[in-house]
Structure 1
């Protein structure tokens, strides 16, 4: 009797012990499975969502799937969240170029400046002050001509910059040298953008369309960028010519935009019909001085744009042009009412263009067919020798003393006296600006 009781008790103890081992093994396997599920969830959700999934061990598998779908939906909603307003200011800087971008993303604000106006003025510096700009995230200089890089030194010294982009082509002008020195002293990051590169500055996307390489052709190899803000796209090509436009067309990159700034101030050296067709803008804008000595914008370009049904604006006729967009729709505001036609580029105030009285007086003598003009501020050594009385040595002296306010400044070059200066002006191919 006692033996049977002891045997039964012994069997009960063994069975209970076996049952505990079995429970422990199941709990261990369950914990391993939950751990694996939690790690998988973290790899597809934010850190915060992963922690919540780990703490809530009683969620069934369908509930975890729902959480994952919710996370994907949140990411999609954030991507499609309404953008803050962007303002693009095509600043009235006379026969030069400067465009300011201003926008924000939640608590962060951004400013980008594309080209910096003419070296003979401080209108860009003053305009930035009027817009309460305190810092520039990015400055892009399309090429080293003095009407595009003109106020870079003053802008950098006044406002600072996070990064500066240039084509990599150089100039011997004092304006270019001062600009480079200012950028180096500012310790801003420096970059030479090339075809195919892509960047994001907050919600702004930037695609580099040109140049792919450089060879010293400053105008042709202008930095050309496509700015995308939501669904609205802007294109800037500096002074890139039709050959450069052809290279962009053959690159395979998407050139379709809403707003196009016409190349080279509306010159017929740019804006080929094929390029205008490929970019397919709704709005075209050019920057030029009133009664431009180069005839900008050229009649054939104006006619091409108007015949294509594209809205045309110019700083000579409309003053500063401001485009405001939420990334879907855009509005255009101007500070002048003007008309543009092949016969006239309109009448507007030329204040801020940087031309002094002497330059204005000499414009008549310097005006000529732009195809024959040799710009003494940007021409190469070989091009300068096309001017009467200029051989290789004197052409180098001309380059070393740049920039010039007018053709009359050539009298400061050794060997150019009143008689030779009169010959140069009578020949009529030497000019400044553009």
Structure 2
């Protein structure tokens, strides 16, 4: 699988490179954002300016980090237009939309794309009158983060897609990869220490340094800087990875932190939280989800640090607006998060072109065990599903039907029949 995927991506990169060469000048916003100071430095390293230009034109895709690495100088905040960061209510999934402009140029960035069996993110993008997306970052290949990527890249002209390089056997992941390959989007696998300017927004890659197949732990983690306002995203990275981020030379302090892994206690180490020192923490989780997200331990840790806490399960879609200096927060719903109150933020409604999402959930209930949503412990109540197969079941999500369990080693037609006859396994709940 990995060999086939690598070959496919190699073909994609070659194709993208040829497209750049034919056009002579890349339309990739990351390439356009390259600072003048670096262009001069790179030119001096080549024998002639003409050679440097030709090299850049034929290898823009393969050398994205060098071609778009940021300068050390920060533009004046006085010239910054408004940036809106939409933490979309995507149920038990994740998706965040960045929208901003610089003079005549508008920019759109999407970090994660929601769940495979829902459509909140696709609908939300449509409500924002988006025509193009400059960059889509998928933190890792789990179906609740890469879920709607295929439909999004088929709908919108996309400049570039970033993936960690880790793979999944799920149909959702395979469909997403096929859609990216079929699109005109460039492709990149970012690594720790890379830095990019996309217009006035700076992106510093904090993680991963390399990959080893640990999909959650090796989530793409990014520090977004807009003037003096900073946003940090870590996907589903765990506590040990958070501590590794502290160990880099990159300043990880941020104003607004999205809590890792939907607020699970596998993330948000106290030392990491103190190093980031956010004023605001936001998590994305589904209402009454079967995972118990957010963890009450994490909620208590955040609130005890004096950090304001918001969650999509309580507040719906959350929008942060900033001019690079000050920021404000508006929520789709007013509510507080236990064990103590965070106060209330401004609320918005459909008049602001922001829809209150349907809070329907597909978690396991008494009538069935949803094999796409239930925990590892819960699925072991299904006949023939022990601890090892439960982990395989979890890793191979999502499933279109109970018959999909036949992909698990040791689950053949006879056992599928047993599972169906038992009547407690389902995909809809």
The equivalent residue for 1:403 is 398
Q: Does 1:209 align with 2:212?
A: no
SS at match of 2:144: coil
Cα offsets for 1:74-127 (capped at 9, x unmatched): xx9964542000000000010000000000000000000000000001111110
Indicate the residue corresponding to 1:389 in structure 2.
Answer: 384
Quote the Cα distance in structure 2 between the aligned partners of 1:423 and 1:213.
Answer: 44
1:134 to 124, 131, 136: 131
1:252 aligned residue (249, 254, 261): 249
Over 3 Å counting, the alpha-carbon distance change for 1:227 and 1:399 in structure 2 is closer
- Corresponding residue for 2:219? 222
Q: Is the 8 A contact 1:374 1:431 kept in 2?
A: no
Deviation at 1:273, TM superposition (A): 0.5
Match of 1:340 in 2: 337
Distance change (3 Å), C-alpha of 1:350 and 1:326: closer
Q: Which residue of structure 2 lines up, in the alignment, with residue 183 of structure 1? A: 180
What CA distance in whole angstroms lies between the structure 2 residues aligned with 1:392 and 1:339? 37
Asked whether the 8 Å contact 1:172–1:399 carries over to 2, the reply is no
What 5-or-longer segments of structure 1 have no aligned partner?
1-42, 44-75, 377-383
Deviation at 1:187, TM superposition (A): 1.9
* DSSP 3-state at the match of 1:323: strand
What TM-score do you get using the length of structure 1 for normalisation? 0.70
Name the counterpart of 1:87.
84
**CA positional deviation for 1:402:** 4.6
Looking at structure 2, the residues matched to 353 and 239 of structure 1 have their Cα atoms a distance apart, in angstroms, of 22
CA contact (8 A) 1:290 1:350 kept: no
Give, in angstroms, the shift of residue 410 of structure 1: 4.0
1:190-210 Cα distance to aligned partner (Å, 9 max, x none)? 000000000000000000000
Cα distance in 1 between the residues matched to 2:116 and 2:311: 21
- Give the SS at the match of 2:325: coil
Q: For 1:151-300, what aligned pairs fall within 5 Å after superposition?
A: 151-300=148-297
Q: TM-score, normalised by structure 2?
A: 0.71
8 Å CA contact retained: 1:264, 1:270:
yes
1:98 aligns with 2:101: no
Classify 1:432/1:275 alpha carbon distance in 2 versus 1 (closer, same or farther; 3 Å). Answer: farther
Structure with max Cα Rg: 1
Q: For 2:415, what is the secondary structure of its paired residue?
A: coil
Q: Does 1:301 align with 2:301?
A: no
Q: Is the 8 A contact 1:262 1:271 kept in 2?
A: yes
